[in-house]
Structure 1
Amino acid sequence: MNKTKKEPIKNGKLWIILGIIFALITPWYFPAGSYKPLFWGIPYWAFIIIGASILLSAYLTYILKYEWQLEEENEEAEEKKGEK
């Protein structure tokens, strides 16, 4: 699983998913004055936004861990090559 990491800015699929998650977080698609039904005294849309925020955090964590090319990794790899 030694997959080469790339810059995520060049991956269109990552940006599309990120745009969808941001659309879920923004409450523009809820009807005006929408607050019912209430769950535990909280409007339903608040749970949707909280869930989308957690999804955004998980997705950004995935991008940073598996897709992001860090300069330190390049420098460490070059140093190891120089030592051999």
Structure 2
Amino acid sequence: MSQPKKEPIKNKKVWIVFGILLALITPWYFPESFGDILIYGMPLWAVIIIIASMLLSAFLSYVIKHHWMLEEENEANEKEGVK
């Protein structure tokens, strides 16, 4: 049987991952040398931000799908319990 879902706001691991990913998409702390390194014509800092943005989107999708308790799920569970 699956574990009951909790609100992700109470999960410290979710907040840690959010913090790391949000720090990676913030470009102003990157060293100036990151602008000199090019990957397929793009500066290294831009590549890091693009990859971190995709990871942030994927992580948000995971959290919403697997950790977020939706009202529809509550209603469906209550109806099944009544029958």
TM-score where L is the length of structure 1 = 0.88
Q: Which amino acid aligns with 1:65?
A: K
Runs of 4+ residues deviating >2 angstroms: 31-34
Uncovered stretches (5+) of structure 1, i.e. residues with no partner: none
* Partner secondary structure for residue 35 of structure 2: coil
The equivalences for 1:1-84 within 5 A come to 1-32=1-32, 34-82=34-82, 84=83
Q: Number of residue pairs matched?
A: 83
* Partner secondary structure for residue 4 of structure 1: coil
Across the aligned residues of Structure 1 and Structure 2, the Cα RMSD in angstroms comes to 1.5
Deviation at 1:33, TM superposition (A): 7.5
For the residues of structure 2 that align with 1:47 and 1:34, how far apart are their CA atoms? Answer: 10
Uncovered stretches (5+) of structure 2, i.e. residues with no partner: none
Deviation at 1:37, TM superposition (A): 1.4
Aligned-residue sequence identity (percent) comes to: 58
